[in-house]
Structure 1
Amino acid sequence: MILDPWLSRLRPLLVAAPILGLISAIAGVQIGFPAAYAPALVLSTALVMLALAGQILARLGKGEIGLDVIALLSMGAALAFGEYLAAAVVALMYAGGQYLETVAEGRARREMSALLSRAPRIATRLTDDGRLEEIPVAMVGIGDRLAVRRGELVPVDGILDDDTAVLDEAALTGEPLPVRRTRGQPVMSGAGNAGDLFRMLAIKPAAESTYAGILKLVDEAQRSKAPMARLADRYALGFLAITLAMAAAAWLVSGDPVRAVAVLVVATPCPLILAVPIAWVAGVSRCAQFGLLIKGARALEDLSRVRCLVIDKTGTLTDGRPTLVAVRSAMPEDALLQLVASLDQASSHVAATALVAAARARHLDLIAPTHVSEMPGEGVSGEVAGRHVAIGGTDYIRAKYGMPAGTPLPAGAIAAAVAIDGVYAGMLLFADRLRDGTDRILAGFGRLGVDRIILATGDRRDVADHISRGLPFDAVRSELSPGQKIEIVRAEKAKAPVLMIGDGINDAPALAAADIGLAMGAHGSAAAIEAADAVLLVERLDRVLAGIEIAVGCRRIALQCVFAGIGLSIAGMLAAAAGLLAPVEGALLQEAIDIAVILNALRVLRIKPTFATT
């Protein structure tokens, strides 16, 4: 149950009212003024009843009815039949339980609320004449050059425009240690600068940056209810009818209306409306500690039931960034690499970025290219140190410069051909590497009850077969269109709950179609993040395993709260109907049950997943 701000502020005062009433009543009796006893208890109870009636009317206006009606009836019945002390105790315990709920939900949301308080508000922009000016973060535009000082937060998503930066991404990803970024690498809004001042280029406005998206997810998560939590609302009328029937039966059989009052107070309030929402909010918060943002309690409950995993390859199972793995050439490797990397400085292709990074890793001196001409998707050519250099796909080089007949193309790798001075000079091989520990992580899904794992990728069949070799996939589907990915997800959904993990625009429809869609948020597309039910903010798939463990543990604890709380409540109601519990004793018993199940629900915050560490 998400608390209205006004109600959260009012609840401490509602606790104080019955406390003062009880103190005044007892003091009146002690000092020889018993006439104050009943008015003090009635007045303090009436104040709580008035606030409760307003809350119930507000819910009725939305077409909802809750179990809080029982609390109102029990206090009213106790006052009507002269059980003033019982009425005041119920008022105190009800108000105290609601206040405890406020405190517990606040604790459960602490990790996500910390994100809200850290939202960047000011950015430092570099002007054309080299000055620094502070502007509201909403005024940052795409292409603006920004400076981020030590201790400040990155205001918007961007690209590093300095040699290095040391970033604290703990609040975003759960990674406790600072990470180092180098020139050209992305930096996420909301990360803290743990090193010296660095410069960056803004690539998104604040409203579309990572941190703004996180805040939107936090808001959605805090407003959501899990299906199990909605059971309280769905069956409130039925439980109310059962409670009233038991109270009426106790009165009719015994002829004593006090027994009916005792039944009502034992049923006030039901642990289902207290503990279950707290457990799911705590679970969402706990997942956030591991860099896994769940969009709501419903998604977390669905995650606990997952039995099939459909996973994309590029950027999900793999790093999504091609890496140079081999150079095939008659000339010295470094000489060829120096020429083509120098040329590729002028290209924005992902393979060009990997090539330049490989050359710099070998400490090769790169030369500024001239007369560069690029055909997008095919190749690039230009002059480097007086030599004509061209690099591109094999079809491009073969058609323009010729290649030896029968040149083999390796399976599972991306090949780029090179021509120097109009003659074929060699081939560069790139591969999209699996993420570290992929085999262990996929095996972990199996140990958590996921009994079917499918690789679904748009890549060539030979690439998919090569990357999946030796991994525990039940099926490998390649060369898929977005529509075909949806068909796979829907076919698997007919058999069992499906978790789909992806990162690209082409994955967005399948993410939306799955029971749970999980997007790789650090480098994933905006479309995928929008379509997904959860976002992974750190490039570590083991955090998904942690999320499943938390979801399963959260569901188990929530069910414990339901069965134990309702079972004890019904036992107490039967005892009250039999005359074994007086109204005051019944109220104390019920509130003891409520406190126990709320404390049990907060155990979710201490779940320690075995597959990941913070």
Structure 2
Amino acid sequence: MPDSPSGKITRYPLLLRALTGVTVGALTVGAVAWLLDARDVADAAWAVGTVSATLPAIWWLIAALRQRRFGVDVIAVLSLLGTLLVGEHLAGALIAVMLTTGRTLEEAAERRATKDLRSLLQRVPKVARRRTADGVQTVAVEDVAVGDVLVVGPGEVLPVDAVIASTWAVLDESAVTGESMHVELQTGQPVRSGTINAGGAIEIKATATADDSTYAGIVRLAKEASAGTAPVVRLADRLARWFVPLTLAMAGSAWLWSGSPARAVAVLVVATPCPLLLAAPVAIVSGLSQLARMGVIIRSGGALEDLGRATTLILDKTGTVTSGRPRSSDVVAAPGWSTDEVLRLAASADQFSPHVVAKAIVAAANDHSLPLEFPTDVVEEAGTGTSAMVHGRRVTVGNHPLPVNPPAWAATTLARATLDAEVVAWVDVDGELAGAILLHDPVRPEAPRTMRRLRAAGITRIILLTGDRPAPAEQVGTVLGMDDVQAAQTPADKVERVRAERRTAGTVMVGDGVNDAPALAAATVGIAMGAHGATASSEAADIVLTTDRLDRLADAMLVARRSRRIALQSAISGMVLSLAAMALAAVGLIPAATGALLQEAIDLAVIVNALRALRPDSSGLPVLDDQTRTLIREFAVQHDSMRDGLEHVRYTAQRLAGGDREAALSELRKVDAFLHDTLLPHEHAEERVLYPALARPLGSTEATATMSRTHVEIDRLARRLHQHLDVADAAGAIDDAQSEDLLASLYGLHEVLSLHFLTEEESYFTLAPDP
């Protein structure tokens, strides 16, 4: 990272803090002396503060000019010298405090903003276990040659690119691809360095040296991207490029026209750079403070300024716009089995498996409050997953191949999983295919609203970059309305795309994995999802979202734009007023002493305006009271409890479609009981309690009108199903005349309820996330 333009003194934080202490102390001592009517002592103290800041300010100016940077440093030096010449010691002391305090904050921000790659480097294996004729030998990773067979233990990082030499392996590739799902590979399949062994001990055969492997390339990319990132040009410096020459021209003209240097000094005193030195930074720091309270840590004011100007947003998928943790979306049971029993047996067998899919299955069983049994004789079978004895039955859970002619329900499940880009965990019990559990990485419920808010804030282009497969990437891109989706991207691909976008617009990159670190460093502004993400991505980023909520991204963008707008207002209005005062000083209407007081009034006005950035801004979101928040959370919990019933509607339709009318009739009775005992009372309570409570913060009752119309349709379909049930019960079976309409009603009700649940969760429930 290039040296600070402020000069070498900013690299000595203790010296800079001591200088700040001197200026603040001098200002304080002078103020006390002035109150005690010791005016000479006050002037002396303020003069000491002014002189103590003048010398380093001159050094900072020289350093800035050496780097061809012409900005507020020039005004700072001239204003300090001007106050000393005309004896305006209080003004000089104030400017000294503003200058040194700003430099101290800048030094701290620069120190934090350094693109630290320590976590990337620490993660690289230093040694490897090489298999030889005499056994296993530990060698430095640099000594691994192509063709060497290496042993990698459970939880260890693969040191080099290789192919699997064992029968099979379970690997966590999230650090390289960002994909959270573990992969199962067999003999001869390629693997990349940086991947974690998520199963038992394996052997790999090196296909590249450590320097030529994938992970070393990621580290190099991050270093190069960081080094190639241009330093931030501060808003104050950009404004100073024209304000400084104009100030000098007016001061020189006043001197030449009047023949009195006092006129020039008066112009310089009136032109003290507080609107640039303090007013603009106050607005930016106020924005930083507001975001910090939201859990958004921004490493520098420059990053906030750049965020406020960006128009292109690039997002990683897994862990960024999705949760990054697989979740069960459905359980399909074979004829003769119940979904609860399939899930209970699968979760019992998977209780102690480290596989990410196994954890999701166990979590689903816990959510359904299913009692799990202790498994025995647990093994991780090659290419199939977990196998265990559960209550005397052999249960196998995993991605094992289906029979050549699978049952109709299994073929339907597989086709559905392919269309929905989901993962299927098949469940066998004593060699019989009992069911399947479908899993997916869900889009964050707050993601759609976040995308809308970002576009409203000024983002004109949103791109999804992911190392995941095209099918799930395209699905997520469609749901969120992305302008472009690029799947199967390597870290190098991501960096290249970020650089290409940055050439045409300010670019924000958001990611959470180690593989995102180079792209974060290459972007104009890098934002890391730091709640569960990799340390490397957090350290390579300019901004870290410490809470696991994507909506904080929209908050950050909106606060950044508002803070930058207020900073511009404060700086420009202050300069316009200063220019007017400078013109009066140039013609002799304002002497230096009066000019100093006038400038203090201008400074105070623009600083008060800048402090508006401290006020919270709801950014267009409704403001909810505690009672409404509590209501929303209560109904959100009820939604979660009804998901089983929702899926049972589709399960009943599948039974009917499969021709098993007797079983379908039995299931229809359960669906009818769920609708009338649980679902409809919930929907009616929403109409009576929740929607009226939301009317005030949302602006009118019309805001929930579409949801109310959906309730009407749900009621209609529920009554229709009940009528079908009455007819079937009277006849003792579902007849041919009912089947087609009953099937359409079941599938229609499932789709309406699914969309209704999703819309409510996105539109209302995300307004009151869990505290």
> Is TM > 0.5 for Structure 1 vs Structure 2?
yes
8 A contact 2:578–2:599 mirrored in 1: yes
Shift of 1:45: 6.0
| CA 1:515–1:13: 2 relative to 1, 3 Å | closer
Taking the aligned partners of 1:499 and 1:422, their CA distance within structure 2 comes to 52
Paired residues for 1:68-217 under 5 Å:
68-78=76-86, 87=87, 90-96=88-94, 98-99=96-97
Greater relative contact order (Cα < 8 A, sep 6+): 1
Shift of 1:587: 1.0
Higher percent of residues as helix: 2
Shift of 1:598: 1.9
User: For structure 1, which segment, 568-577 or 256-265, has the greater mean C-alpha deviation from structure 2 after superposition?
Assistant: 256-265
Taking the aligned partners of 1:104 and 1:509, their CA distance within structure 2 comes to 30
Shift of 1:241: 6.3
The code of the aligned residue for 1:91 comes to H
Q: Secondary structure at the match of 1:550?
A: helix
Taking the aligned partners of 2:294 and 2:444, their CA distance within structure 1 comes to 18
8 A contact 1:275–1:558 mirrored in 2: yes
Task: Kindly indicate whether residue 304 of structure 2 is the aligned counterpart of residue 300 of structure 1.
Answer: yes
C-alpha root-mean-square deviation of aligned residues, in Å? Answer: 3.6
Using the aligned pairs only, state the percent identity. Answer: 41
The code of the aligned residue for 1:416 comes to A
Q: What's the counterpart of residue 447 of structure 2?
A: 438
Taking the aligned partners of 2:577 and 2:26, their CA distance within structure 1 comes to 26
Which residue of the other structure, out of 476, 479, 492, is the alignment partner of 2:485? 476
The code of the aligned residue for 1:96 comes to L
The code of the aligned residue for 2:251 comes to A
Paired residues for 1:7-86 under 5 Å:
7-16=19-28, 43=44, 46-57=47-58, 59=60, 65-78=73-86
8 A contact 2:350–2:361 mirrored in 1: yes
Aligned length: 474
User: For structure 1, which segment, 486-495 or 334-343, has the greater mean C-alpha deviation from structure 2 after superposition?
Assistant: 486-495
| CA 1:302–1:376: 2 relative to 1, 3 Å | farther
Q: Secondary structure at the match of 2:480?
A: coil
Shift of 1:545: 1.0
Q: Secondary structure at the match of 1:519?
A: strand
| CA 1:598–1:472: 2 relative to 1, 3 Å | same
Shift of 1:92: 1.0
Shift of 1:63: 5.5
8 A contact 1:301–1:555 mirrored in 2: yes
| CA 1:259–1:57: 2 relative to 1, 3 Å | closer
8 A contact 2:27–2:46 mirrored in 1: no
| CA 1:402–1:321: 2 relative to 1, 3 Å | farther
Taking the aligned partners of 1:7 and 1:600, their CA distance within structure 2 comes to 28
Q: Deviations over 1:60-114 (max 9, x none)?
A: 6755654232233323432xxxxxxxx1xx2112323555788999999xxxxxx
Taking the aligned partners of 1:425 and 1:473, their CA distance within structure 2 comes to 39
Task: Kindly indicate whether residue 331 of structure 2 is the aligned counterpart of residue 327 of structure 1.
Answer: yes
Q: What's the counterpart of residue 18 of structure 2?
A: 6
Taking the aligned partners of 1:254 and 1:267, their CA distance within structure 2 comes to 19
Q: Deviations over 1:2-50 (max 9, x none)?
A: 99422333334423565578789x88xxxxxxxxx9x778745643443
Q: Deviations over 1:434-465 (max 9, x none)?
A: 21133222122221111222222333333233
Which residue of the other structure, out of 452, 458, 483, is the alignment partner of 2:461? 452
8 A contact 2:29–2:42 mirrored in 1: no
Q: Secondary structure at the match of 2:411?
A: coil
| CA 1:403–1:276: 2 relative to 1, 3 Å | same
8 A contact 1:266–1:573 mirrored in 2: yes
Q: Secondary structure at the match of 1:253?
A: helix
TM-score scaled to structure 1, two decimals?
0.69
Paired residues for 1:519-534 under 5 Å:
519-534=528-543
Taking the aligned partners of 1:60 and 1:470, their CA distance within structure 2 comes to 52
Q: Secondary structure at the match of 1:610?
A: coil
Taking the aligned partners of 1:56 and 1:104, their CA distance within structure 2 comes to 12
Shift of 1:481: 2.8
Taking the aligned partners of 1:481 and 1:240, their CA distance within structure 2 comes to 47
8 A contact 1:453–1:474 mirrored in 2: yes
Taking the aligned partners of 1:580 and 1:99, their CA distance within structure 2 comes to 29
| CA 1:308–1:420: 2 relative to 1, 3 Å | same
Mark the runs of 5 or more structure 1 residues left unpaired by the alignment. Answer: 28-36, 79-86, 109-223
Which residue of the other structure, out of 262, 267, 270, is the alignment partner of 1:258? 262
Taking the aligned partners of 1:243 and 1:228, their CA distance within structure 2 comes to 19
User: For structure 1, which segment, 62-71 or 468-477, has the greater mean C-alpha deviation from structure 2 after superposition?
Assistant: 62-71
| CA 1:450–1:541: 2 relative to 1, 3 Å | same
The code of the aligned residue for 1:591 comes to E
Shift of 1:588: 0.7
Q: Secondary structure at the match of 2:467?
A: coil
Shift of 1:55: 3.4
The code of the aligned residue for 2:79 comes to A
Which residue of the other structure, out of 509, 515, 520, is the alignment partner of 1:500? 509
Q: What's the counterpart of residue 369 of structure 1?
A: 375
Q: What's the counterpart of residue 181 of structure 1?
A: none
Taking the aligned partners of 1:472 and 1:515, their CA distance within structure 2 comes to 23
Q: What's the counterpart of residue 237 of structure 2?
A: 231
User: For structure 1, which segment, 57-66 or 266-275, has the greater mean C-alpha deviation from structure 2 after superposition?
Assistant: 57-66
Shift of 1:345: 0.5
Q: What's the counterpart of residue 291 of structure 2?
A: 287
Shift of 1:513: 2.4
| CA 1:246–1:16: 2 relative to 1, 3 Å | same
Q: What's the counterpart of residue 351 of structure 1?
A: 357
Q: Secondary structure at the match of 2:445?
A: coil
TM-score scaled to structure 2, two decimals?
0.56
Taking the aligned partners of 2:539 and 2:34, their CA distance within structure 1 comes to 53
Which residue of the other structure, out of 407, 410, 423, is the alignment partner of 2:432? 423
The structure whose Rg is larger is 2
Taking the aligned partners of 1:62 and 1:604, their CA distance within structure 2 comes to 32
Q: Secondary structure at the match of 1:546?
A: helix
Q: Secondary structure at the match of 2:313?
A: strand
| CA 1:57–1:492: 2 relative to 1, 3 Å | closer
Q: What's the counterpart of residue 193 of structure 1?
A: none
| CA 1:15–1:494: 2 relative to 1, 3 Å | closer
Taking the aligned partners of 1:435 and 1:41, their CA distance within structure 2 comes to 60
